[in-house]
């Protein structure tokens, strides 16, 4: 994870047909440029599908939501899908529902559920079912 002022971290890993981006901390005005760099066309994410693991995000503002939706558009342009991971009942999952993000992006409670939704086998990603990204 790359730290910005101790409140934000983001790490991307490529696993075949999916890029998994684990985000930690506050996703807001001062931290979104790092996520934007990761998700941009010139960044490391090139796979058709994208999983944004927000399970360790403690705060997301409108700029953060906008950045997530921009990542979705880039992924769609590559012919892929984007799936968000946000634990049920957290402030992030509540914000996603209030802003109706769940109507344009699939939101699931775990990384395993995201991988399953995309039809990605766990062994293909090197993801250990007991391991949690973030």
Q: What is the pLDDT of residue 72?
A: 94
CA distance 92 to 81: 20
Tell whether the model's pLDDT for residue 2 goes beyond 80: no
> How many CB atoms are closer than 10 A to CB 65?
16
CA 122 to chain centre: 17
- pTM equals 0.84
Burial string for 19-29 (b: 16+ CB within 10 Å, else e) reads bbbbbbbbbbe
- List domains and CATH numbers for the chain: 8-123 (3.30.750.24)
CA 71 to chain centroid, in Å, comes to: 9
Q: For 10-67, how does the pLDDT look when each residue is reduced to its tens digit (9 = 90+)?
A: 999 988 899 999 999 999 999 999 999 999 877 788 899 999 999 999 999 999 999 9
Query: Does an H or E element contain 108, and which?
Result: strand 106-108
Sheet of 49-60, strands arranged across:
8-15, 18-27, 49-60, 82-85, 106-108
Q: CB burial class (10 A; 0-12, 13-18, 19+) of residue 6?
A: exposed
**What residue has token string 């994410």?**
45
pLDDT in tens, 59-113: 999 999 999 999 999 999 999 999 999 999 999 999 999 999 989 999 999 999 9
């Amino acid at each position: 994870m790359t730290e910005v002022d101790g409140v934000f971290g983001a790490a991307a890993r490529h696993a075949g047909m999916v890029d998994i981006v684990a985000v930690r901390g506050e996703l807001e005005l001062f931290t979104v440029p790092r996520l934007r760099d990761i998700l941009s066309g010139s960044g490391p994410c090139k796979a058709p599908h994208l999983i944004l693991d927000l399970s360790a995000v403690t705060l997301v503002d409108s700029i953060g939501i906008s950045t997530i939706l921009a990542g979705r558009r880039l992924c769609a342009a590559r012919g892929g899908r984007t799936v968000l991971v946000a634990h049920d009942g957290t402030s992030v999952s509540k914000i996603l529902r209030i802003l109706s993000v769940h109507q344009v992006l699939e939101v699931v409670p775990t990384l395993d559920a995201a991988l399953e939704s995309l039809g990605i086998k766990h062994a293909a990603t090197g993801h250990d079912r007991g391991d949690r990204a973030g």
